[in-house]
Amino acid sequence: MPPRPAVITPGIDAFAISVHGGVMFLRRFFAEVLRPPYHFREMIKQCYEVGYKSLPLVTVTGFITGIVFTKQSRPSLAAFGATSWLPSLITIALVGSLAPLITSLICAGKLGSSIGAELGSMKVTEQIEAMEVSAINPFKYLVVTRTVATTLMVPALMLYCCFIGLVGSYLNVHGSEATSLAAFVKGGFSSIGFLDVGSSVAKCFVFGFTIGIIACYQGFNATSGTQGVGKAANRSVVLSMFVIFIEEVLIVQITLWMRGF
């Protein structure tokens, strides 16, 4: 029999099918997440894997970002004799934009690739089917637990990244301007409000969910042996980073609208 002709073009057809697959995967996630059993032990294990094991990377990047951003901002402010605004500037930048983006991009790279590759290799070696035939719901055990873990841990890592970045910044400011800790904290926190912190945390819940669900989707649908595992890991990282940037733009617009801008 001749192959069935494409409805639009083969490329557009394949894209439409993958979008449909993604939507069905999302729908299944929301249908399963509140239904027991909850696999709390596996969820806690995944939170440990996702959160605790990412701490060294977030510590180093957050600390360096705090120092470098402070150093690079100083000359511009010094030109106006306004270096005393450094704590305020750094806090606004870190809490509002830098920490959520840095944390989520690091997590997209580290967690996206590891979850995509882990689930992908489980798929191609029939481990996911082995769960199914043992009457264990692999979607609930693998996808729900990992996605919940990334959703909860990315905001926590972001807050930690803010703290570490501010520590780095304070050490630099203290070394150069002899600013006291009290003055740094006062300067920094007087310039941000609940909406700044709240919107960043909310943003990171969305970013964490995005990383988890995309990596699980790619891993769960991996095909073609070891090559498929590599593709699943690669697509998890690239696609989640791309979606995170789009979400960032949308959430910033919503936050500005809520502030009346």
- Residue from the set 127, 176, 191, 234 that interacts with other proteins by CB under 8 A: 127
Examine residue 249 and tell whether it contacts other proteins (CB under 8 A).
Answer: no
Establish if 182 lies at the interface with other proteins (CB under 8 A): no
Judged by beta carbon, residue 1 or residue 249, the one nearer other proteins is: 1
Show the tokens assigned to 220.
Answer: 């769960």
How far apart are CB 199 and other proteins at their closest, in Å?
37
Distance of CA 116 to the CA centre of its chain: 14
Least distance from other proteins to the Cβ atom of residue 133, Å: 4
Contact characters 137-156, other proteins, x per CB under 8 A: ----x---------------
If one asks whether residue 133 binds other proteins (CB under 8 A), the answer comes out as yes
Residue carrying the six token digits 């929301």: 30
Q: Angle between the 10-33 and 194-220 helix axes, to the nearest 10 degrees? A: 110
CB-nearer residue toward other proteins: 133 or 178: 133
Chosen residue from 57, 68, 77, 136 binding other proteins by CB under 8 A: 136
Tell which residue, 91, 109, 97, 110, has the closest CA to residue 249.
97
Shorter beta-carbon distance to other proteins: residue 14 or 254: 14
Site for other proteins in 27-86 (CB under 8 A): none
The answer to the question of residue 5 lying near other proteins (CB under 8 A) is: no
Q: Is 72 exposed, middle or buried (0-12, 13-18, 19+ CB in 10 A)?
A: exposed
Residue 179 has φ and ψ, to the nearest 5°, of -75, 135
Q: How far apart are CA 228 and CA 123, in angstroms?
A: 10
Q: Give me the 97-126 binding string for other proteins, x by CB under 8 A, dash otherwise.
A: ---------------------x--xx--xx
Among 6, 16, 26, 130, binds other proteins (CB under 8 A): 130
Q: What is the distance between the alpha carbons of residues 84 and 71, in angstroms, rounded to a whole number?
A: 13
Tokens, residue 71: 């150093």
Cα–chain-centroid distance for residue 19? 21
Interhelix angle 55-78/145-177, nearest 10 degrees: 40
Q: How far apart are the first and last CA of the chain?
A: 61
Identify which of residues 77 and 136 has a Cβ nearer to other proteins in the complex. 136
Nearest distance, CB of residue 130 and other proteins, angstroms: 4
Size of the site for other proteins (CB under 8 A): 17
Q: Smallest distance, Å, CB 154 to other proteins?
A: 23
Q: What six digits make up the tokens of 56?
A: 């060294």
132 touching other proteins, by CB under 8 A? yes
Residues in contact with other proteins by the rule CB under 8 A: 1, 3-4, 118, 121-122, 125-127, 129-130, 132-136, 141
